[in-house]
Structure 1
Amino acid sequence: MNLFTLRRVLLPCLSLLIPGQLLSKPSTVPPEVVVVLYNTEDEDSKRLALHYAKARSIPEDNLVGLPIPAGDEISREQFNQKIRTPLCGIFDDRSWWVREVGSSGQKQPITLKRRVLVTMRGVPFKIARTLDTIPEGQANKRPFTPNPKGNEASVDSELSLMGIEGYEIAGQIPNPYFEKDQSLLNLDNPGILLVSRIDGPSLKTCMRMVDDAIAVEKSGLWGKAYLDLSQKGKGYEQGDQWLEEIALMNKTAGIPCVVDRNIDTYVTNYPMNDAALYFGWYSHHRNGPLLNASFQFKRGAVAVHLHSYSAFELQNPDRRWCGPILARGATATVGNVYEPFLSLTHHFNILYHRLLRGYSIGEAAYMALPALSWQAVLLGDPLYRPFRADLEIKLSDQEDRDYKALRHAQFRWGSDEEALIPKLRTYANKANSGIVFEALGLLARANGKEEEANAFFTAARDKYSGKADQLRQDLHIIDVYRGAGNTKTAILLLQKIRKKNSQIPEEQAVTALLNILDPPSPPPVRLRRKR
């Protein structure tokens, strides 16, 4: 398809603005307000700090190295002696804040010249529960038995309040930035630090996270969103509601969104191609696409799986969720080092809304977090803005052109789907775009038009050249039948496509789904003969 034809179908725009971005544009967080903390006992920690500071033009004076005990977890005493107290001393000595005793009788910052703290790999990320609060015989048990009044915490969450003295460490402290919709620099209460961490399974992974954030925000994050609802019923409704709201946001923003509303998570090796965004739950350890050795998130991806201990082993590429997500190429994620309880973890709907508004992921994560001095951790460059409000995109750009066309079309005609759908169908035919036909199918499903959705998925399968992408269209169609209660047809289709995809690792998704819908008979029980 030549450029002239493309322009006739979808006129290029000077900037691609989603509806939320028509509001005031968030201010950019400048590098001068960022402090970088590394462990002087770990050469890689210092190396990573220097790499990040150079990449973000952070002043050399803002780098702080402290001799900190090695390991993932430290005691409360070690945290205070080795991290909090010396770091507060540096903030005092360098006049990075002014603290006074407030009306509550607590000494706290009244002005704060450094607003963001980024901890490097090599700085411990967990503070252990104090021994006097651990039941007898459980001192070495990890994770701790969940307790809403426990005093274990994320190092980073505790550092958010390091300028405040005398607060109760048991339980949580309300986050004054929660649910705000304003830039960090405009926050009325200057008493907290926004703390993020560049950490993960390896130094190489951490370096890549930094480089990817800077590279991708120049051109924007483009691709598909994948959501995985829990559907486990009572006690899980809040998390599912967050994901349903994200699905609506994606529809409004023109981002193709695959939603799994089945009680099982995405099946083993699900073909999650072009995954720029992922929000899901609820499984203890990585599964689904992350079990596929060849799977990689799209560069710049923000990917999150909600679980109580998702960041408990954040440097492990194979266990829990944060480590595997980063090992598979994501640029940023959030998680919990110990049990946070659902209502006190990051509210995904707020996190995603603020990202779409153009905030940095650091600001978005803190606006989505109800409590500090608790269990949350943000992994990634806090200055990363995947959806910059000032980003200018031309449809003549070849890279990610179909995703840009979808966003532009939604902006132009999204309020009138009778105009939007024919425009996109014409574009998809002329551009031979499986991406746009699939997006049309997903939109039809979101509107409850299942037959129309299947027709679009069939067209997408014909346009895609990759077998994994073609398989995903078949799985969409099968999910339509499954959702309608027509399990028999779904099973027949799965059996039909299994042989066709036997040469690709994503075929395991077919087998896994067959085992769910048509589980094999258990082996016969052999009874022992009496002698």
Structure 2
Amino acid sequence: MRLFLFLILTTGITLAATPDPASVVVLYNKAIPESAKLAETYRAARSIPAENLVGLDLPKSDDISREDYDKGLVKPLRGIFDSKGWWKLGKNQENLTLPVQNQIRFIAVMRGVPLRIRNTSATPPPIDLQKPFEGRNEAAVDSELAAFGIQGLPTLGVVNNAYFKSEKPFAEAGMPFLVLVARIDAAKWETCERMIKDAVATEKTGLWGRAYVDIANKIPEGDQWLEGVAKANLSTGIPTVVDRFNDTLPTNYPMTDASLYYGWYEWNVNGPFLNPRFQFRPGAVAMHLHSFSAEQIRDPNKNWSAALLERGACCTIGNTYEPYLGITHYFDILHKRLLDGSTFAEAAYAAMPALSWQGVVFGDPLYRPFIHLDGSGEKQPGDNDYRALRMASLQWDSKPAELHDQLAKAVERTHSGVLAEALGLRYRAISLNDDAKKWFGVARENYTNTADKLRQEFNIISIDRAVGHKDLAIRELRDARTIYAAIPESQALTGWLNILDPPPPPPADPTKVPKIK
């Protein structure tokens, strides 16, 4: 990959400023020893002052009542901010008491602090799409905490997020009445520790790898967010596999080298993540849009947030209760802010329209996965091809024909499967399907890993499926299933075959008497 390495010296990209560790409070549950231990692990990893550790006596369950939240969490936390002089309170035009100065910009919530605030009604009203907030005061603890300094806010419905769509670092946004809250929480304590370790380690090298975007074609608004992610990656030089079929990626789909995943819309984890061999790259950013993606965080085989973290993701987002699509995280904004060098907390809150609602941010709030998109950072052999793609994109993004020519020459010299597939994905993105198929074929030959070879079959078949060549796609799937039968990922071929060529229903059992309606 020496072809592109000289470009590192000529990009001129300005790196994002390092957040001040003293601007972070680490919140844990004093009633759970492991929570205190995790807090100290995070504090030490980020060199946060010891005085910024805050332990409160809280329920040991993931749910908390509104009364316990107000009395056991918000009231003592406000008292600590007062006593330590972290903020200065004043009045706004609506005569609300709120912080007008604030030294604290982030709160890192540790596992053990409750996740959800229950509705005050024992029998809350059913969700009414015409009156979405009527009787709804259940919420994510973290979303409430983001505005905990503002006294007298209503508990019903939502509060507008003033940082939504901001492009400024939070330190420059002039919003002392808000704090950005993210939690280091997962199904296992060990996973939480790994999330911290991976975030710190990845910032030394940068996050490199392949992206997978699974567009469900359900609702245009959500689909457009995911299209925005794919478009940003094309410009950035991140090779991105995009699936635009109504079904999500099939079980055991060969998702290798995954550093980014954005998808929707299934209730529980499925597809590639059911493969026991699957693991994200360290530092990976992964999320799946669903109303109840963080309904719970203890079972890694239910919902999405816990599942993605348990499979190696470093950070994700989720919703504790029904959030409604328009006021959940906008994936395209979140992704763009990350690419610009923002922390994960800044990116997530810039992408979230409402507070005092259902959104949760999981991961190190200070984590910046893309601060080395200029080619800086420690080099690792497994990143070389992905770094080369980025450098080529920086040099020739305005000249796509030259970019493709340079990549083709690099493939010929290096026999890189990664570069060949990336070139095929670029041609696919601009609908040059014959060129895309050619380079996917080259990638198949160049890869040594069988699962990577199989993904090229999917890349080719997806083109035939998309343009309506159903019979050809079925034949290709059957042929590939014979070739790749020995690996678990071949189950994904059966998944697509069952969609395109459904098996006949099982014959009737003559021993059973049919029910008469």
So what's the TM-score if we normalise by structure 2? Answer: 0.95
Length, aligned pairs only: 510
Amino acid paired to 2:208: W
Match of 1:201 in 2: 187
Amino acid paired to 1:385: R
CA–CA distance in 2 between the matches of 1:16 and 1:510? 44
Amino acid paired to 1:473: Q
Q: Please tell me whether the aligned partners of residues 41 and 193 of structure 2 are also in contact (alpha carbons under 8 angstroms).
A: yes
CA–CA distance in 2 between the matches of 1:164 and 1:28? 27
User: RCO higher in 1 or 2 (8 Å CA, sep ≥ 6)?
Assistant: 1
Provide structure 1 residue ranges, at least 5 long, that are not aligned to the other structure.
Answer: 1-5, 139-143
**Is 1:386 aligned to residue 369 of structure 2?**
yes
**Is 1:98 aligned to residue 88 of structure 2?**
yes
Q: Please tell me whether the aligned partners of residues 16 and 407 of structure 1 are also in contact (alpha carbons under 8 angstroms).
A: no
Match of 1:123 in 2: 113
Match of 2:77 in 1: 87
**Is 1:249 aligned to residue 232 of structure 2?**
yes
Match of 1:10 in 2: 4
Let me know the Cα RMSD of the aligned residues: 1.9
- The correspondence for 2:22, drawn from 3, 20, 32, is 32
Once the two structures are superposed, the pairs formed by residues 157-236 of structure 1 within 5 Å of their partners are 157-232=143-218, 236=219
How many Å apart are 1:526 and its aligned residue? 5.3
How many Å apart are 1:111 and its aligned residue? 0.3
Amino acid paired to 2:300: P
Once the two structures are superposed, the pairs formed by residues 130-529 of structure 1 within 5 Å of their partners are 130-131=120-121, 134-135=124-125, 147-149=132-134, 150-232=136-218, 236-388=219-371, 392-393=375-376, 398-525=381-508, 528=513
Cα 1:468–1:169 change in 2 (3 A) is same
CA–CA distance in 2 between the matches of 1:392 and 1:501? 37
Deviates more, 1:452-461 or 1:146-155: 146-155
Amino acid paired to 2:71: Q
Provide structure 2 residue ranges, at least 5 long, that are not aligned to the other structure.
Answer: none
Match of 1:51 in 2: 41
Cα 1:145–1:316 change in 2 (3 A) is farther
How many Å apart are 1:125 and its aligned residue? 0.6
Amino acid paired to 2:466: G
CA–CA distance in 1 between the matches of 2:237 and 2:9? 14
Q: Please tell me whether the aligned partners of residues 251 and 274 of structure 2 are also in contact (alpha carbons under 8 angstroms).
A: yes
CA–CA distance in 2 between the matches of 1:127 and 1:391? 42
CA–CA distance in 2 between the matches of 1:15 and 1:177? 34
Q: Please tell me whether the aligned partners of residues 229 and 262 of structure 1 are also in contact (alpha carbons under 8 angstroms).
A: yes
Q: Please tell me whether the aligned partners of residues 205 and 372 of structure 2 are also in contact (alpha carbons under 8 angstroms).
A: no
CA–CA distance in 1 between the matches of 2:449 and 2:6? 28
Percent pairwise identity: 45
1:366-415 Cα offsets, whole Å, 9 max, x none, are 10010000000000001000011686438985331000000000110111
Amino acid paired to 2:87: W
1:202-240 Cα offsets, whole Å, 9 max, x none, are 0000000000000001110000110011112xxx11010
Q: Please tell me whether the aligned partners of residues 12 and 396 of structure 1 are also in contact (alpha carbons under 8 angstroms).
A: no
How many Å apart are 1:10 and its aligned residue? 2.7
Deviates more, 1:325-334 or 1:180-189: 180-189
How many Å apart are 1:529 and its aligned residue? 9.7
CA–CA distance in 1 between the matches of 2:133 and 2:222? 19
How many Å apart are 1:459 and its aligned residue? 0.3
How many Å apart are 1:11 and its aligned residue? 4.5
Cα 1:184–1:15 change in 2 (3 A) is farther
How many Å apart are 1:333 and its aligned residue? 0.2
Q: Please tell me whether the aligned partners of residues 26 and 389 of structure 1 are also in contact (alpha carbons under 8 angstroms).
A: no
How many Å apart are 1:345 and its aligned residue? 0.4
1:42-79 Cα offsets, whole Å, 9 max, x none, are 11101100000000000000000111011111110010
Q: Please tell me whether the aligned partners of residues 15 and 394 of structure 1 are also in contact (alpha carbons under 8 angstroms).
A: no
CA–CA distance in 1 between the matches of 2:514 and 2:146? 68
Amino acid paired to 2:18: T
Amino acid paired to 2:201: A
SS class of match (2:6) = coil
1:268-296 Cα offsets, whole Å, 9 max, x none, are 01001011000000000000011111100
How many Å apart are 1:497 and its aligned residue? 1.1
How many Å apart are 1:429 and its aligned residue? 1.9
Deviates more, 1:505-514 or 1:397-406: 397-406
1:405-450 Cα offsets, whole Å, 9 max, x none, are 0000011011112211111111112111000000000000001110
CA–CA distance in 2 between the matches of 1:67 and 1:111? 27
CA–CA distance in 2 between the matches of 1:406 and 1:417? 13
Cα 1:397–1:153 change in 2 (3 A) is closer
CA–CA distance in 1 between the matches of 2:37 and 2:199? 18
Amino acid paired to 1:153: A
So what's the TM-score if we normalise by structure 1? Answer: 0.93
SS class of match (1:14) = helix
Q: Please tell me whether the aligned partners of residues 334 and 376 of structure 1 are also in contact (alpha carbons under 8 angstroms).
A: yes
SS class of match (1:226) = strand
1:460-511 Cα offsets, whole Å, 9 max, x none, are 0000001100000001111010011001011101111112212211011011
